[in-house]
Amino acid sequence: MSAQILIVEDEEDIARLIARTLEKESFEPLIATSLSEAQKIISQKLPALIILDLMLPDGDGLELCKSLRFREEKGIPVIILTAKGEEVDRILGFEMGADDYIVKPFSPRELALRVKAILRRSQTPPSSVLKFGELEIFPEHMEVRVAGKPVKLTRTEFNLLLTLAQAQGKVLSRETLLDKVWGYTFEGYARTVDTHVRRLRKKLGSAARYIETVWGIGYRFRN
């Protein structure tokens, strides 16, 4: 059975190009050209992943991102399509729970690689509960608790924390983290890791101390 991937994009040429690329990789693309159409499709089909343009005729793609994150406990992975240099949208997208973004104009091949990386990541078999003092990580439910209280993390933040915790004190470089958490390495994207670590620490509160910065290299989980 091939995975259904929803493309939300009002520029039909781009939508068709993405659809063709995904078909070649044996995915089943669905196209929505507006937010309302996307909502309708999601409620009926629950796609495996969403490729989301931000500027849509009836609103901002981020709204969809936000509603997905709050409605579904684990959320459907989202790749945001953004115009060149839309830094603000990019950061905002991660806050709203996007898993990745791709800048237009993009190569269809690269997009396909990202889609496959994200789907692979979300299918990694779960492992048992990890416990460090007040911090508990439940890989199976993608859940984190600090002193018994659940902490809301995005999928990427969760994977980042889990990857660090599972490395058992080993220092992980930004490149390694990109590769393990995002599924690919990309020159100049190391800053993305820092942004996510910052946000993760903030959400973890007292448990933030487990994530140690190793100057000039990357991060380490300290237990």
Size of the site for Ca ion (CB under 5 A): 3
CB of 36 to Ca ion, least distance (A): 15
Handedness of CA 5, 199, 209, 213 (dihedral sign): positive
Please check whether residue 86 is in contact with residue 39, taking contact to mean a CB–CB distance below 8 angstroms.
Answer: no
10 part of the interface to Ca ion, by CB under 5 A: yes
> Which of 53, 89, 100, 136 forms a contact with Ca ion (CB under 5 A)?
53
Cβ-proximal residue to Ca ion, closest one: 55
Q: Which amino acid is at 1?
A: M
**Interacting positions 78-117 with Ca ion (CB under 5 A):** none
55 part of the interface to Ca ion, by CB under 5 A: yes
Both structure tokens of 194 = 């820092």
H or E, element range at 4:
strand 4-8
Instruction: Decide whether 53 or 136 has the Cβ nearer to Ca ion.
Output: 53
Surface-to-core class of residue 90, CB atoms within 10 Å of its CB (0-12 exposed, 13-18 middle, 19+ buried): middle
- Candidates 5-13, 62-70, 88-96, 141-149 — which segment interacts with Ca ion by CB under 5 A? 5-13
Instruction: Decide whether 55 or 112 has the Cβ nearer to Ca ion.
Output: 55
Please check whether residue 195 is in contact with residue 94, taking contact to mean a CB–CB distance below 8 angstroms.
Answer: yes
The site for Ca ion (CB under 5 A) is made up of 10, 53, 55
